[in-house]
Chains A and B, each alone.
Chain A
């Protein structure tokens, strides 16, 4: 159990972040730990990475290959055609576009409204804020299956079905409670005096929220944003319920296109579609991950 001491001198822009460790320093103290940790990490990586390899290999197998040979073998023939099949049958291009068109606006709304509400609930001082926070918290616990019928009725009557609006609105609604709660928690770590000082200088509290508080919770925003992105991106239930028109399907619904009558499944194209989806999101994640890490190293919020 080596605990590394990392006496990073205060005063740098990242006085709190321990990442990256200053170069040139030994990374550990007790040599005995090294193989143990290395083994653990290696095991971890196998457990985490192998499924990806498996998915990729499966995406290149024919159905009979998938069914007859060991799951872990290489494809007997490399069926790159599965990808063409996935792209056309699965209509993946359109579905990805729909997913993005539904998820990104929802994400923006979730973050904007959620942060503002979190600020109002945590930083601002007014009667009933605890109760209001409880109201949001209660919403967090509402099982989404429950709101489907009423929402469907409303969307239908208002003519919103047949557009992506039902998805955007529902995602925003279901994403808000958690975001509000998380942002309120993060704002807890920012001293109120900061905003009071700012507003004495003449800046309104709204401006203080925008220009002072937002940069301070940047990391939180990124983390929550990342979380919400994956929640929403992987949603199947809501997308399935509210997309009446097949031109509006999202990627997750599209993945169901590969099953046939009586339970037959085209595994190759299915996995090809999954791979396209997964490696696409991987790129997004890597991009965001960069940002998150940058955020963490430059000015982490202190408790």
Chain B
């Protein structure tokens, strides 16, 4: 077969194969440059999502100011991934034991807890107490975190948000409407607005969560603050009639057209914009929207025309209106294996200074104590901050205690619930099935 073979050629071929193999070996030998949570980190590496610029900006500010010494010992190094890629990235990095010193621990608390269970996350209550800075966390924030993470402090409250309904004061006065105190009043007010051709709510069905938050809002008012904990504990099911009732109420709002047309394809910005340009009377949102409200370019109503009300009470319900749904934003945590004294310096500096810096520079309310005087940007900001500091018991949101799968299922099906393509019973069944799986 082989006609023009020669020893030289054979040798060359063998050499090629060998060198290819050698390269692989060589490359694996001098590996390990990925860095990460080894015993002594080289940087205060921080992995976050691209979408969140607040924490990144504030930490950079601190690294040049209040935390300069900590930064000299362990320089801050920020890496970001797009939010949609975060969970995947964490899985990949955790698999290599290469998680950074500080990182956003997943899009849902479920993933954070998984990381914690397998020893990737530092016990922050213990560490902060050791550093003597545990009292720098606001009690409300601590209670939210503990409710979210099974009684443990697994993340730092870089944000602290409460949620409720923002409303357009001018539309309300023009139509002789009082701020609704009960769900029935809210529905009646919506009917009146709709009758006058004003869209009662704006909401992003594309995101899904602004709709499911209404379900949980109703549940917390009707069944009390443990409503969803009971589901998580298996004491109740979402398919129980009292739970389906909540979905039914929200579906009714949709059926009557209170969210406007095509709610399923309304994105976050559009929903926000509809409210801030006066095209909708009410907007369920978290306090992070204060930044948008304060921005005159976005808010054509003027900040003074925006009011904030708690989710209304349900007649005969066990919940109270001062139990605000709350969250700590993106859950940002610290790696267990890399938590050494230099990391400690950083963390204690953050807890003491972050609150004031974030509020002053970016108008963001965090769960850290604000040390020093900071003036509120708008009246609504003041109102929200007061609400937070006076609140005793807060609640979570619909998917807070769900698995990531149930979270996705819930949020992607929410639009179907309000546009009528999915019955309340079927919606709750679908989510419950996703919850029960595994």
Chains A, B in direct contact (C-beta < 8 Å)? yes
Task: Say whether A159 contacts B34, CB under 8 Å.
Answer: yes
Instruction: Please give, as numbers and ranges, the residues of chain B lying within 8 Å of A265 by CB-CB distance.
Output: 267-269
The 0/1 profile, CB within 8 Å of A marked 1, for residues 263-288 of chain B is: 00001111011000100000000101
Query: Measured between C-beta atoms, what is the minimum distance from A288 to chain B in Å?
Result: 30
Instruction: Please give, as numbers and ranges, the residues of chain A lying within 8 Å of B338 by CB-CB distance.
Output: none
Query: Measured between C-beta atoms, what is the minimum distance from A116 to chain B in Å?
Result: 13
Task: Say whether A262 contacts B268, CB under 8 Å.
Answer: yes
Task: Say whether B82 contacts A256, CB under 8 Å.
Answer: yes
- Nearest B residue to A149, CB-CB: B92
A67, A160, A256, A262 interface centre (most CB from chain B within 10 Å): A262
Task: Say whether B277 contacts A68, CB under 8 Å.
Answer: yes
Tell me if B54 counts as interface (CB < 8 A to partner A).
yes
Tell me if A5 counts as interface (CB < 8 A to partner B).
no
Tell me if B95 counts as interface (CB < 8 A to partner A).
yes
Task: Say whether A267 contacts B33, CB under 8 Å.
Answer: no
Tell me if B85 counts as interface (CB < 8 A to partner A).
yes
Interface residues of B in 1-16 (CB under 8 A from A): 4
Task: Say whether A259 contacts B273, CB under 8 Å.
Answer: no
**Interface hit among A6-14, A30-38, A239-247, A276-284:** A239-247
Task: Say whether A149 contacts B95, CB under 8 Å.
Answer: yes
A148 and B4 CA atoms in complex are apart in Å by 43
A157 and B36 CA atoms in complex are apart in Å by 13
Tell me if B98 counts as interface (CB < 8 A to partner A).
yes
Interface residues of A in 224-272 (CB under 8 A from B): 240-241, 244-246, 253, 256-257, 259-265, 267
Tell me if B421 counts as interface (CB < 8 A to partner A).
no
Task: Say whether B269 contacts A264, CB under 8 Å.
Answer: yes
**Interface hit among B23-31, B146-154, B429-437:** B23-31
Instruction: Please give, as numbers and ranges, the residues of chain B lying within 8 Å of A253 by CB-CB distance.
Output: 82
Tell me if A139 counts as interface (CB < 8 A to partner B).
no
A240 and B82 CA atoms in complex are apart in Å by 8
Tell me if A17 counts as interface (CB < 8 A to partner B).
no
Instruction: Please give, as numbers and ranges, the residues of chain B lying within 8 Å of A148 by CB-CB distance.
Output: 88, 92
Instruction: Say yes or no: A261-B288 contact (C-beta < 8 A), given A204-B4, A240-B82.
Output: yes
Task: Say whether B33 contacts A262, CB under 8 Å.
Answer: no
A156 and B92 CA atoms in complex are apart in Å by 10
Interface size on A, residues (CB 8 A): 33
Query: Measured between C-beta atoms, what is the minimum distance from A162 to chain B in Å?
Result: 6
Interface residues of A in 197-220 (CB under 8 A from B): 204
Number of A-B contacts (CB under 8 A): 103
Instruction: Please give, as numbers and ranges, the residues of chain B lying within 8 Å of A158 by CB-CB distance.
Output: 24, 27-28, 31
Task: Say whether A240 contacts B85, CB under 8 Å.
Answer: yes
Task: Say whether A67 contacts B273, CB under 8 Å.
Answer: yes
A264 and B267 CA atoms in complex are apart in Å by 8
A253 and B51 CA atoms in complex are apart in Å by 13
Instruction: Say yes or no: A260-B298 contact (C-beta < 8 A), given A149-B92, A159-B27, A246-B80.
Output: no
Instruction: Please give, as numbers and ranges, the residues of chain A lying within 8 Å of B27 by CB-CB distance.
Output: 158-160
A40 and B3 CA atoms in complex are apart in Å by 60
Query: Measured between C-beta atoms, what is the minimum distance from A175 to chain B in Å?
Result: 19
B30, B51, B83 interface centre (most CB from chain A within 10 Å): B51
Footprint of B on A, CB under 8 Å? 62-64, 67-68, 148-149, 152-153, 156-162, 204, 240-241, 244-246, 253, 256-257, 259-265, 267
Footprint of A on B, CB under 8 Å? 4, 24, 27-28, 30-34, 50-54, 79-85, 88-89, 91-92, 95-96, 98, 204, 206-207, 267-270, 272-273, 277, 286, 288, 297-298, 329-330
Starting from the known contacts A67-B270, A159-B28, 19 additional A-B residue pairs (CB-CB under 8 Å) come to A64-B297, A148-B92, A149-B91, A149-B92, A156-B31, A159-B31, A162-B33, A162-B34, A240-B82, A240-B88, A257-B82, A259-B83, A260-B51, A261-B53, A261-B288, A263-B204, A263-B268, A264-B272, A265-B269
By Cβ-Cβ distance, the 10 closest A-B pairs, closest first, are A263-B268, A159-B31, A256-B82, A67-B273, A158-B27, A159-B33, A158-B28, A152-B92, A158-B31, A156-B96
